[in-house]
Amino acid sequence: MTYWPVKALFCVLLFLPVMVWAEVCAEDEKGAQVCLPEPAKRIVTLSPGATELMFAAGAGDKVVAVVNYSDYPPAALKLPLVGNHTRIDLEALLAFKPDLVVTWVTGNPPAQVELLQELGVPLFSIEPRTFEGVSSVIERLSTLAGTEQEGYVEAAHFRAGIKAISEQYRGAEPIPVFYQVWEQPLMTINNDHLIGKVLQLCGGVNVFGDMSRLVPRISAEVVLEANPHAILTGSVDGKSDGQLDLWKNYSGLKAVARDNLFFVPASPISRPTPRLLEATELICEKLDVARER
């Protein structure tokens, strides 16, 4: 027992170099190897999804600024803003002296991102398009933030959750589904979209899954022709808001005849974050209901 201070000192000495020179590296979505001399302490996120993922990676307390509409988790609402994701206030951003900026590959203006890069601001660009991508990006963000413990747990939890659902619905009866992204103009998603993948996971067959565009614009006619058994759409908190009312005129539509018009909370389903798990569970439940009707 008398030795413990010595032991402790030894431990500190042993790990000191590691702690001081702890360079952390991760590969981002553009294939760039991003290395920080030490885990990031002042992080700015340039999309609401990135904010959410940063918090999920256990590094919420290291986020110093976000862009507008970063509304989850609630703690993010208290953070200062640096503009919105399409038009970033670069001055405000630089004033936070960030040691890591998380960008959104297709959401942020390329010219502004390039300028940040030229100014030597460490950038990590993300845009998960698969379930595994969500887990992986959480892991990588946690590596850069030095919060691997929390991050890997969260990532594993998400991975396991998706796996469980996937197994549960492997033998589920296929059901034709139409997911309405927007009412006016009428828009949906294809199978490459994360929402499309959610539908597939739950045993749904996206009637527009084979379209070439990620978010195709379609006419009401082709929806009637495809005759889905269920129609889903996102809304604020999953409340019914009349966005599916137009379909009620078509009683010939199976989804209408069987009363299979469902609302799911828009923000979790449209953001590639851990909340996608709850959203997936919810959609699977709705499809179960639809199968029974």
Partner 1 sequence: MIRSLLILGILAFFAVLLAMALGSVNIPLLDLWQTIQGEGSALNRTLLMDLRLPRTLAAFATGGLLAVAGALMQVLLRNPLADPYVLGLSGGAAVGALLAMLSGMGALLISGSAFAGAMLATLLVFGIAHGTGSWTPSRLLLTGVVVAAGWGAVITLMLAITPSYKLPGMLYWLMGDVSYARSPWPALTVLVLAVVLIMPLARNLNVLARGPLQAAALGVAVRPLEWMIYLLASLLTATAVTTAGSIGFVGLIVPHMLRLVLGNDQRIILPASALAGGALLVLADTLARTVIAPEQLPVGVITALLGVPTFLYLLHRSR
User: Which residues of the shown chain bind partner 1 in the complex (CB under 8 A)?
Assistant: 68, 80-84, 86-92, 94-95, 97, 105-112, 114-115, 119, 213-215, 217
Give 179: exposed, middle or buried? Use CB within 10 Å, 0-12, 13-18, 19+.
buried
Q: Which is nearer to partner 1, 17 or 31 (CB)?
A: 31
- Smaller CB separation from partner 1, 47 or 280: 47
68, 191, 32, 277 alpha-carbon torsion, rounded to 10°:
60
Residue 205 and residue 202: Cα distance in Å, rounded?
A: 9
Minimum CB distance to partner 1, residue 220 (Å): 18
Give the nearest distance from C-beta 135 to partner 1 in angstroms: 22
CB of 89 to partner 1, least distance (A): 4
Q: What residue type is 220 in one-letter code?
A: A
| Burial classification of residue 171, based on how many CB atoms lie within 10 Å of its CB (0-12 exposed, 13-18 middle, 19 or more buried) | exposed
Q: Minimum Å distance from CB 47 to partner 1?
A: 12
The token pair that represents 222 in the structure block:
């082709």
Smallest gap, in angstroms, from Cβ of residue 162 to partner 1?
24
- The nearer residue to partner 1, 67 or 282, going by C-beta atoms, is 67
* CB-nearer residue toward partner 1: 47 or 260: 47
**84 vs 227, which CB is nearer to partner 1?**
84
Strand order from edge to edge, sheet including 43-45: 63-65, 43-45, 100-104, 123-126
